C-alpha cells in the first residue's frame, strides 16, 4: 500500500478548523477529500515541495479515502505519471501531501468555499 497514513501541517489543521466551523462539515477526511480533488483539478504543479506535517491530525488511508480508495490512488498515480515521475510509494505519498495542502489552501483562500454550495461549485466548474 503506497499510503498508510495522511498527516497534516499545523497551518493546514488551523485552516480546516475554520472550514469545519463555516461549512458545518465536521469530519477532517471529508474536507481533505474536497481539498485533494480541488488541487488535482488544477493542472499546474504545486509550488511547495516540502511540507512539515507537524500537527496532531493524522488519519489512516482507509479513513481518508473511504470506499473510494482505489479511485483516489489511481488519481494520484495518474498525476505522478503526468508530471514525469514513477508512481512509486514515496512519490505517491509526496504527491498526496503537496496536493492535499495546496487544496486546503485553495479552500481557505476563497470565501465562497466557506459553504457547501461554494465547495461543490468550485469542484464542478468547467
Query: Which domains are present in the chain?
Result: 5-124 (1.10.1220)
Residue 91 has pLDDT above 80, yes or no: yes
Shortest CA distance to 7 belongs to which of 45, 65, 50, 57? 57
More confident residue, 77 or 18: 77
pLDDT at residue 16 in the model: 92
Q: What pLDDT was estimated at residue 2?
A: 73
> How many angstroms separate the CA atoms of 45 and 62, rounded?
26
Arithmetic mean of pLDDT, 8-29: 91
Question: pTM for this one?
Answer: 0.88
Distance of alpha carbon 11 from the chain centroid: 14
- Mean pLDDT for 57-80 is 95
Say whether pLDDT at 41 is over 60. Answer: yes
The secondary structure element, H or E, covering residue 104 is helix 89-109
Q: Which of 1-5, 64-68, 80-84 has the lowest mean pLDDT?
A: 1-5
Higher pLDDT, 22 or 9: 9
- Selected residue with higher pLDDT from 55 and 126: 55
Amino acid at each position: 500500500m503506497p499510503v498508510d497514513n495522511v498527516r497534516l501541517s499545523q497551518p493546514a489543521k488551523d485552516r480546516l478548523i475554520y472550514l469545519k466551523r463555516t461549512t458545518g462539515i465536521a469530519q477532517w477526511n471529508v474536507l481533505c477529500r474536497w481539498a485533494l480533488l480541488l488541487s488535482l483539478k488544477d493542472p499546474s504543479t504545486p509550488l511547495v515541495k516540502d511540507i512539515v506535517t507537524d500537527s496532531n491530525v493524522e488519519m489512516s488511508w482507509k479513513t481518508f479515502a473511504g470506499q473510494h480508495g482505489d479511485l483516489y490512488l489511481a488519481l494520484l498515480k495518474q498525476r505522478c505519471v503526468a508530471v514525469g515521475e514513477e508512481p512509486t510509494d514515496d512519490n505517491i505519498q509526496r504527491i498526496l501531501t503537496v496536493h492535499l495542502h495546496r487544496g486546503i489552501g485553495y479552500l481557505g483562500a476563497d470565501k465562497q468555499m466557506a459553504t457547501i454550495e461554494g465547495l461543490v461549485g468550485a469542484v464542478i466548474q468547467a
